[in-house]
Structure 1
C-alpha cells in the first residue's frame, strides 16, 4: 500500500526553517562586514579557534547524506558502513598529519595553491578544473537532499523545492564567505547533533527499545527481534576487495577534498588545528554512530512494525520515521536539522568552487587583478557554482550519496597523489603532476557507468556509481604515473633547464620547518619504490573479478 509521508501542518515546519535561515543570514551579514581580502573570504583570516573549527569541520563533513542518503543505503542494501565510517572519520586527522600543517606553515589558502607553487600554473589549472568538478558533484548531493527535505516539509514538487531551497542557501553562503560559513557551520553542527540524536531516542522508545537514552550505541536490545524478522541483516555479502577498495576511494579521496583541507587553514595556529581535529573526531563519531542506529531502526520498523516505504522514498527514511513516531513539531525540527546538514556542507563546497575559479584559474591567468576585484570575482564564482549544482540536481541519481562518493574518488585520483608526494618526495615534478592528474582523472571518469558503461570493473551498480571500483584502479595508476614520469624526466638533460629543482627542494624543506637545505631529506628512493609496488599490486587486483 502506497503511503505519502508529509507534515499535515506545514506552517510549523516553515516557521522553524525560516527562523534558522534568518539566523544564518544574520551571521553571514555580520561576518561579511569584516571581509576585505581574499584571505578573509576563503580562510576567515586564519583566526578560528579550536572548538569552533572542530564543530565546523564536523559540520562540513556531515552533509545531508548523514540524514538521508546513508540511511537509504542501509535500508536498501545493508551496506557495511561501519568500515566506511572509519575511513571517513580518519580523513581530517590524516589531512592534518600528512600535509595540513606543512601547507599551513607555507601560508597557502587551498590545496591548489600548493600545487601552483610546487608544480606551476599548468598543473594548478588542471587540478583546479578537476576540483571544481569534485566540489560541484559533492554539492549536488546536498542540493538533492535539500529538495527532498523541502518536499517533505512543504509538500511542494521536487523541482520547486530544489530551486527555492537552493537559491535561498546559495544566497546566504555568497554573502557570508568563510567567516560566516564557519560560525554558521558550528551552529549547524549543534543543530544537527541535537535534531538527529534526541528524536532518534524518542523513536527507539516508541518502538520499545530500552537503550533509547543513548541511541548511538544502545540499540542492542532490539537486535534479537531484528534477527528474527530479518536474519541476514548483519550478513554483509561484500568481498574483501570491497573493503580494501574503500581506502583509495574514500580515505585517499578525502585527502584531496578542498573543503576539508580549507578547514585546517582557517585555524588560528597549528596547535589549534590539532585540537580542532580532536573535537572533530569526537563529534563526527557520535553522529555517525547515530546514523547507523537510525538506519537500523528504519529497517527494524519496516520488518517488525509493518512500516511501508516506497523504494523511491528511501532517501527520506529519517524524516519518515520522525513523522510516523514523533509529534509533528519534532519532525519539523528534524527537517530543519537535515537542511542545516546540507547547508553546512554546501558552504564548504561553494567556497571551494569560488576559490578555485577566482584564485586558482582567473587570478592565475590575470595576476594584475586588484584585491578588490579578486574578492568580487570570488563572490560571483560562489554564486555560479551554486547555480550549477542546482541545475545538475534536476535529474538526480537514485541515491544522493552516489554523487558525493564519486567525488571522493575523483579527488583521490587527481589531487591527493600530487599533494602527498609533493610534500614528502623532492623528486616529484611538474611533468609527473600534469600527467598523473590528467591521465588518472580521465581514466577514472571513463570507468564510471555514466560515461563508458562497457569499461566498468564490476557488475555491482552502486559500487561502480559510487566510484569505488574505478578508484581502486585509477588512484594507484595516478601514483604510478606521478612517480615514474617525475623520476624519468628529472634525468633527461633536455628538460633540466625547464625544471625548478632548486626552488622545489627549498620549498619542501621550508614547509617542513627546516631553515637549511640538505639533499638527503625527503629524497629517499625506498618510499617511492614501496608506493610503486603497492600501487601496481592494487591496480592489477582491481582488474580481477570482484565476486559480486
Structure 2
C-alpha cells in the first residue's frame, strides 16, 4: 500500500476544515429557528446544494461496495441499482420537488403530518424513518472503521471514534448549514477523485472501447446477468427508484434551496454527478482492475478500488482517493444524522407536545442529533451481524411504506388520511412478512409490497370520506406558490376562488 503520509496530511487538513465549518455555521445561525437548523435557512446556493445532494447520496458504499459488486457479480446488477437511483431523482425532481418545497415544511414526516393529520400516522412515519436511518448510519460507520483499519493501520475502534467524533460535532453544532457546506467540499473532492481515477484507467488502456473489449474478453461473466435471479435485478431497480424519492437526507435538500426551481436544479446537478460517478467507477475502474488481474477473482471484491489505486495510480492520487472515500462516509452520515434528529425531535416529540415553543424545539433537535450520534457510535463499535441485510431491508421497508402515501398525497386530491395510513401499514407489514417469512430472492420483496401499498392507499381512500376542502388548502396552495402561515386563515371558499381564478387565467 502507498505511503500513509500523504493521505494522513490530506485527512488532517480536511478534519480541521469541517470543524471550522461547524463553528462558522453556528456563528451564522445563533438566532436560527428549529426549521432553519434543519434546512440551513432555506437559502443554499444551487451549485452548493447540487454537490451536497451528490455527496450525501454517494456513500462509502458507492466508492467501495458498488465497485466490488461490479467486479464480483457483473455490472448488470449495479446498473439496475444505479438506473433506479437515476429514476428516483427524476421522480423527486418532476413530481415532488415543487409541492414539497412550496408546502413550507422541513422534513418528510412533517409533510405527512400537514397533509393528513392522522395521529397514528404521525407516530408511525417517524418511527420507520428512525429505524431505517439507524441501520444506514451504523453501516456507514462500519465502512469508516474498516477503512481506517485497512489503510492506516489504526484499530477498528479508534477509526470509528475518529470519524464519529468529527461528523457528530459539526452536525450537532452547525446543523444543515454546516452539513451542506462540508458536503459541498466533500462532493468536490469525490468527483475530483472519480475524474482523475477514470482518466488513469482510460489512459492506461487506450480508451473506453479498448478497455471494455479487453476486460470482457478476460472476464466474460463481467458483462453477464446470470449472477443474480432476475427478480433481484428488478427489485434493486424498484427499491432505489422509489426510496430515493422519500429518503430524508436527499429530500431535505429541497427544503434547503432558495426556491422550488433551484431545488429542482440542485437535484439535476446531483443526478448528473452521480451518473458520472457510477459509469466511471463501476465500468472504467472495474474494467481496469479486470485487466490488471487477468480476469481472475479477487479474494475480497470490496478491495477492488484499493487494488486499482495501489497498482495504477501515483501516491498523491491514492492519497486523495483515500481522503475522498472518508469524505463519502462523512458526507452521508452527517446528512442522515441530521435527518434522524429531525425525525425524533421535530416530528415524533412534536406530535406529543404540539405547543412546544420553537426555542425548545430547536434545542431538542440539536441534542437529539448528539444523542443519536453517540448511539450510532456505540453500535458501530460492535456492529450486528448481517449488517448489509439489515440495511437493505430497512431501505426496502422505507420505500414500501412511504412512497405511495407521499406521491399520492401530493397528486391525488381524493387521497385521505385513512388511505395513507392503510398504505403505510400494508406496505411495511407485507414487506417484513415477505422478507422474514418467505424465501424470495434478495431485494425482490418490494415488487410485491409496493403494489400492495398502492392498492391499500386507493381502496382505503375510496371506501371512506374524501378530505374536506380546508384539509387540502395547504397542498392546493403549494401546487401554485409557496405556502405561508397567513394562508391558513383563508376559508375553504376563498381558497376555492383563488384556484378558480388561476385556472381561468
After TM superposition, the score normalised by the length of structure 1 is: 0.82
Task: Please list the CA deviations of residues 287-306 of structure 1 after superposition, one character each: whole Å capped at 9, or x if unmatched.
Answer: 121121223323333335x7
Match of 1:525 in 2: none
Give the one of 294, 314, 332 matched to 1:303: 294
The yes-or-no answer on 1:268 pairing with 2:262 is no
The yes-or-no answer on 1:62 pairing with 2:88 is no
Give the one of 111, 115, 119 matched to 2:112: 115
What aligned pairs does 1:139-288 form with structure 2 within 5 A after superposition? 139-205=137-203, 208-211=204-207, 218=208, 220-237=209-226, 240-288=230-278
The yes-or-no answer on 1:513 pairing with 2:480 is yes
Match of 1:29 in 2: 23
SS at match of 1:255: coil
The yes-or-no answer on 1:408 pairing with 2:383 is no
Task: Please list the CA deviations of residues 92-149 of structure 1 after superposition, one character each: whole Å capped at 9, or x if unmatched.
Answer: 3321321221121121111111111122232122111101122222223321221122
Gapped regions of structure 2 (runs ≥ 5): 482-493, 501-505
Task: Please list the CA deviations of residues 465-509 of structure 1 after superposition, one character each: whole Å capped at 9, or x if unmatched.
Answer: xxx212111111111112112221228xxxxxxxx5232232332
Q: 1:487 to 1:247 in 2, by over 3 A?
A: farther
Task: Please list the CA deviations of residues 187-244 of structure 1 after superposition, one character each: whole Å capped at 9, or x if unmatched.
Answer: 1111001123213433554xx4112xxxxxx2x2123332332222212125554444
Alpha-carbon distance, 1:403 to partner: 5.2
Give the one of 356, 359, 365 matched to 2:346: 359
Give the one of 442, 445, 454 matched to 1:479: 454
Gapped regions of structure 1 (runs ≥ 5): 1-5, 212-217, 459-463, 492-499, 522-548
Give the one of 310, 324, 339 matched to 2:311: 324
Alpha-carbon distance, 1:405 to partner: 4.2
More helix by share: 2
SS at match of 1:236: coil
The yes-or-no answer on 1:333 pairing with 2:330 is no
Q: 1:184 to 1:476 in 2, by over 3 A?
A: same
Alpha-carbon distance, 1:409 to partner: 1.6
Q: 76-85 or 183-192, which moves further after superposition?
A: 76-85
Cα separation, 2, equivalents of 1:235 and 1:358: 47
Cα separation, 2, equivalents of 1:160 and 1:198: 30
Give the one of 342, 349, 353 matched to 2:336: 349
Match of 2:432 in 1: 445
Match of 2:440 in 1: 457
Count the aligned residue pairs: 481
Alpha-carbon distance, 1:25 to partner: 1.1
Alpha-carbon contact 1:54-1:279 (below 8 Å) kept: yes
SS at match of 2:154: coil
After TM superposition, the score normalised by the length of structure 2 is: 0.88
Task: State the Cα RMSD in Å.
Answer: 2.5
Give the one of 94, 108, 132 matched to 1:97: 94
Alpha-carbon contact 1:96-1:264 (below 8 Å) kept: no
Cα separation, 2, equivalents of 1:184 and 1:169: 10
Alpha-carbon distance, 1:180 to partner: 0.9
SS at match of 1:481: helix
